[in-house]
């Protein structure tokens, strides 16, 4: 009540200030028994959070699966360097006296 009295006067000019009915309505206390509805925002936030969590979990599990596959491949081929490698075939060496049996002459 005192604040209404102080606001009604402008102390700089000492003239009473007009107080409109609209200003009095703004200053009234809110009814504490009226509940505001925030359910829509809360539900939307929960849905967005659940979708984000599912996306992060999917990406995490996919990366884990890729790492496991790479580890299995590396484990499977870990000792490949120890296996005997197939050497290229050596050229067959022939002597001059063997050439006669290899080469066939065509007669014209």
Whether 36 is covered by a domain: the verdict is: yes
Give the domain range for residue 15: 2-76
The pLDDT value given to residue 35: 79
Higher pLDDT, 27 or 48: 48
Cβ atoms within 10 A of the Cβ of 3, count? 8
Higher pLDDT, 98 or 26: 98
Distance CA(107)–CA(105), nearest Å, equals 6
- Based on the structure, what is the number of domains in the chain? 1
pLDDT (tens digit per residue) in 29-78: 777 788 778 888 899 999 999 999 999 999 999 999 999 999 999 999 88
Residue 64, token pair as written in the block: 């884990």
Q: Do the domain assignments include residue 97?
A: no
Examine the pLDDT at 27 and tell me if it is beyond 70: no
| Residue 96 forms part of a structural domain | no
Contact 17, 8 (CB under 8 A): yes
Contact yes or no for 4/19 (Cβ under 8 A): yes
- Asked, for residue 107, whether it belongs to a domain, the answer is no
Residue 57 within any structural domain of the chain: yes
Residue 71 lies in a domain: yes
């Amino acid at each position: 009540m005192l604040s209404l009295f102080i606001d009604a006067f402008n102390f700089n000019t000492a003239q009473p200030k007009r107080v409109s009915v609209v200003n009095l309505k703004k200053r009234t206390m809110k009814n504490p028994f009226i509940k505001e509805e925030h359910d829509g925002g809360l539900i939307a936030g929960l849905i967005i959070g659940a979708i984000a969590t599912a996306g992060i979990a999917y990406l995490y599990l996919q990366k884990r699966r890729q790492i496991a596959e790479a580890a299995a491949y590396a484990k499977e081929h870990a000792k490949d360097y120890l296996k005997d490698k197939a050497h290229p075939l050596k050229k067959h060496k022939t002597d001059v006296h063997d050439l006669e049996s290899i080469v066939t002459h065509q007669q014209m």
